Amino acid sequence: MAGIGIRDVVKRYGDTKVIHGVSIDVADGELIVIVGPSGCGKSTLLRMVAGLEDITGGEVSIDGRVVNRLEPKDRNIAMVFQNYALYPHMSVYDNMAYGLKIAGLSKEAIRARVDKAATMLQLQPYLDRKPRQLSGGQRQRVAMGRCIVREPAAFLFDEPLSNLDAKLRVQMRLEIRQLQRSLGTTSLYVTHDQVEAMTLADRLVVMNAGVAEQIDTPMNVYLHPATTFVAGFIGSPAMNFMPGRLGADGRAVTLDTGAPLRALPEPIAGHGEKAVTIGVRPEHLTLVGSEAAELTLRVGVVETLGADTLVHGALLDKGQAVVPVAGEGGEVLAARLPGNVAVREGDTLPLRVVEGALHVFDRETGRRLADV
Amino acid sequence: MVENRPVLTILRHLVLGLGVVIVLFPVWVAFVASTHPQAALMSGAAPLLPGDRLVENYSRLLASGMSQAGGTPVGLMLLNSFIMALLIATGKIAVSLVSAFAIVYFRFPFRMVAFWIIFLTLMLPVEVRILPTFEVIADLGMLNSYAGLTIPLVASATATFLFRQFYLTIPDELAEAARMDGAGPMRFFRDILLPLSRTNIAAIFVIMFLFGWNQYLWPLIVTTDESYTTIVMGIYRMVNVSDEQPQWHLVMATAMLALLPPVVVILVMQRLFVKGLVETEK
Ligand SMILES: Nc1ncnc2c1ncn2[C@@H]1O[C@H](COP(=O)(O)OP(=O)(O)OP(=O)(O)O)[C@@H](O)[C@H]1O
Ligand SMILES: [Mg+2]
């Protein structure tokens, strides 16, 4: 077992740079999920670790050994592809055994390993079938089995669940989680699905345009997003952003319309009198009596989800001035309210931000403000 | 069109039946002619019912051939044609499988140039380059040999192009998965690409076998030795006997014999590629 070290890795295709120096340290046995929007370079990064893509700059090491110049087979890793990439003409057994056969293992050793993996993945009844005779979920398992039998130092997954339907995806997600836990194999997992990312990851890497914006545990990424990009990407519906100003004391927060919000519990030193972006998650807005309201929502669209009700609409401050918002649905504010509130289009709802739930970002750089 | 009206069904079968009759009628006439004595065919009207010389005509041909046309036994001509067609078809498939593999899976300088040059040779059929090719073969001393008959014909732009197109439809991930599994290029070619190409190989084999079987001009030029006469050359000689009426009953019998090997090849291979089509991978 071993960790993976990615240090200042850069990837360039001709003149276009798609990875701008990413560093990630994957600890032994850890499952790291790389998440980001389409085209941000997740697959490219993973493929560089796999050895399927040349590394333009930087260093990748597996098990403490720099592997930049090694062929994939010499890196002691296994990969699950998005479309499974099973060999269509081979039986499930042969698909799993192929790598071992090439590695020169004895027939008995191969059989033992494949049987063990097949039992673990409940593939025993299907060993003689061809991939086309399997369901999507079963194929996915075979692809995992092919990795497991090799007993590699690390697993790499590139969006392994995106071809499955929603229900199966949830089930396979849990299976992957359990399997990875019980095997304790270091894993890098790429997805663009934030729910998958949050539920699977020991730590998350949020990528944007070839840069790792934040690397932390899912909860920390959710609670303390490092940039407005991360804040907007993780969480659903997305965080609402409003332009504002941090007071000289580092605690008072005012919207650009002039309306004050509740002061921060802890002052942010060194950033007084700064133009900021204020972020509030939809789930951190609560319905209050109108005398306690900081903000008022004029209801536009109501989405009833059962447990919750999502309300989207224009945001007004106490002086009834419209607060410009950048949120999920464009310039409207989203609020997640309990399922039992009865709201209708056109209602005005008095809202207040939950204590300690304001996120303050530098408006220029988009970075989270912290004590300096 | 999944309508199921009886009138339409009958009409469909009528049209199909008519097509079959049109295609098979000449074959039938040839077969009937091959079972009559020579005199029966001289009257001008071709008989439509089989005669009584079936065994006699065919056994004479297979054993001793037609004396007026060199007397090469038809059996030997069939064997020559079969060897030639088989070598050409196998050679073409072997060469084009490998060259398509190189073009699709390897990055080397002038890769696309190589591809386009191969592609351009599509415009140069055997007949166009027949003189220079003959010169080369003669200089190499390969006249009157199976090598001379087949080697100049084993390069195939068509087959290379078809295999290239097929390889391009195979997902890159498959090659990458094989790479992760530790398979080198040749191993990938043998274990994965070849088995997946089975259907295509069968189809192209049929086409190329027919191409080889039907060669006329090239064998005519490179062979002077009777023992290398191919069936197509043989038939032509039989028709063009000098100072005499062509022996149509024997010509037709030879033609019937010449039909058989390609038909067998098609029937055998068809089973393979129909199976392949039914089993298409999801
Ligand atoms: N061979 C290539 N040549 C040039 N640019 C490329 C090449 N491959 C990828 N790119 C570019 O690199 C960037 C990252 O691609 P990558 O496939 O890593 O994205 P991704 O994050 O995996 O996206 P997705 O979620 O859609 O899979 C993209 O902008 C893409 O256009
Ligand atoms: Mg990708």
Q: Which residues of B touch A94 (CB under 8 A)?
A: none
User: In which band, very low, low, confident or very high, does the pLDDT at B67 lie, cut at 50, 70 and 90?
Assistant: low
* A29 burial via Cβ count (<10 Å: 0-12, 13-18, 19+): middle
Distance CA B116, CA B157 (A): 10
B 144-183: CB under 8 A from A? 171, 173-174, 176-183
Write down the pTM of the prediction.
0.83
Nearest in space to A1 (alpha carbons), one of A64, A72, A59: A64
pLDDT value at B169 more than 80: yes
A250 CB-near residues (< 8 Å, 6+ apart)? A264, A267, A268, A269, A270, A271, A272
Same domain, A200 and A64: yes
pLDDT in tens, B97-126: 999 999 999 988 998 898 888 888 877 777
Same domain, A345 and A296: yes
| Pocket of ligand 1, beta carbon within 6 A | A 13, 16, 18, 36, 38-44, 192
pLDDT value at A372 more than 70: no
Neighbouring C-beta atoms of residue B242, cutoff 10 Å? 5
Q: What is the pLDDT of residue B270?
A: 82
pLDDT value at B275 more than 70: no
Rounded distance from Cα A150 to ligand 2 centre (Å): 24
Q: What is the pLDDT of residue A290?
A: 82
Residue B260 maps to a domain: yes
**Helices B231-239 + B74-105 axis angle, to 10:** 130
pLDDT in tens, A146-204: 999 999 999 999 999 988 888 889 988 998 999 999 999 999 999 999 899 999 999 99
Residue with structure tokens 């010509």? B251
Same domain, A32 and A125: yes
Same domain, A39 and A175: yes
- Which of B107, B172, B173, B181 would best serve as a mutation to test chain A binding (most A beta carbons within 10 A)? B181
E strand or H helix at A362: strand A359-362
Q: What is the CATH number of the domain that holds A192?
A: 3.40.50.300
pLDDT value at B206 more than 80: yes
For A156, which residue in chain B has the nearest alpha carbon? B180
Same domain, A294 and A220: no
Q: Which residues of B touch A54 (CB under 8 A)?
A: none
Distance CA A79, CA A156 (A): 5
Same domain, A277 and A157: no
Same domain, A316 and A343: yes
pLDDT value at B139 more than 90: yes
With vertex at residue A126, the alpha carbon angle to CA A125 and CA A130, rounded to the nearest 5 degrees, is 165
If one counts the domains in chain B, the total is 1
If one counts the domains in chain A, the total is 2
pLDDT value at B190 more than 90: yes
User: In which band, very low, low, confident or very high, does the pLDDT at B280 lie, cut at 50, 70 and 90?
Assistant: low
Same domain, A272 and A166: no
Same domain, A217 and A172: yes
CA B22 from centroid of its chain's CA atoms: 23
Question: Six-digit token pair at B53?
Answer: 């010389």
Separation in Å, CA of B183 to nearest CA in chain A:
7
Question: Is the interface score ipTM higher than 0.85?
Answer: no
Q: Of all residues in chain A, what percent carry a pLDDT higher than 70?
A: 98
Q: Which domain holds residue A331?
A: 238-371
Is the distance from CB of A31 to CB of A180 less than 8 angstroms? yes
Residue B262 maps to a domain: yes
Question: Six-digit token pair at B67?
Answer: 């004396």
pLDDT in tens, A10-42: 999 999 999 999 999 999 999 999 999 999 999
For chain B, give the mean pLDDT. 87
User: DSSP characters for B78-140?
Assistant: HHHHHHHHHHHHHHHHHHHHHHHHHHHH---TTHHHHHHHHHHGGG--TTTTHHHHHHHHHHT
B 260-279: CB under 8 A from A? 279
pLDDT in tens, A197-243: 999 999 999 999 999 999 999 999 999 999 999 999 998 888 999 88
Structure-model confidence comparison of residues A322 and A3, the more confident one: A3
Q: Which residues of B touch A142 (CB under 8 A)?
A: none
pLDDT in tens, B233-248: 888 888 887 667 778 8
Q: What is the pLDDT of residue B281?
A: 46
Cis geometry, peptide bond prior to residue B171 (ω within 30 degrees of 0): no
What single-letter amino acid sits at B223? T
pLDDT value at B279 more than 60: no
Residue B16 maps to a domain: no
* CA dihedral over B52, B56, B61, B66, signed as positive or negative: negative
Same domain, A168 and A289: no
User: In which band, very low, low, confident or very high, does the pLDDT at B250 lie, cut at 50, 70 and 90?
Assistant: confident
Residue B26 maps to a domain: no
Residue B107 maps to a domain: yes
pLDDT in tens, A280-315: 999 999 988 888 888 888 888 899 988 899 999 888
Distance CA A111, CA A119 (A): 12
pLDDT value at B35 more than 80: yes
User: DSSP characters for A24-55?
Assistant: EEEPTT-EEEEE-STTSSHHHHHHHHHTSS--
Q: What is the CATH number of the domain that holds B119?
A: 1.10.3720.10
Residue B242 maps to a domain: yes
Point out the domain boundary residue: A229, A248, A271: A229
pLDDT in tens, A36-92: 999 999 999 999 999 999 999 999 999 889 999 999 989 999 999 998 899 999 999
Point out the domain boundary residue: A196, A229, A262: A229
**Cα distance between the two ends of chain B:** 26
Q: Which domain holds residue B109?
A: 34-278
Q: What is the pLDDT of residue B65?
A: 67
Same domain, A157 and A70: yes
Point out the domain boundary residue: A229, A255, A289: A229
Same domain, A154 and A10: yes
Nearest in space to A142 (alpha carbons), one of A115, A121, A171: A121
pLDDT value at A266 more than 90: no
Is the distance from CB of A160 to CB of A145 less than 8 angstroms? no
pLDDT in tens, A93-143: 999 999 999 999 999 999 999 999 999 899 999 999 999 999 988 999 999
Nearest CB to B195 within list A73, A89, A146: A89
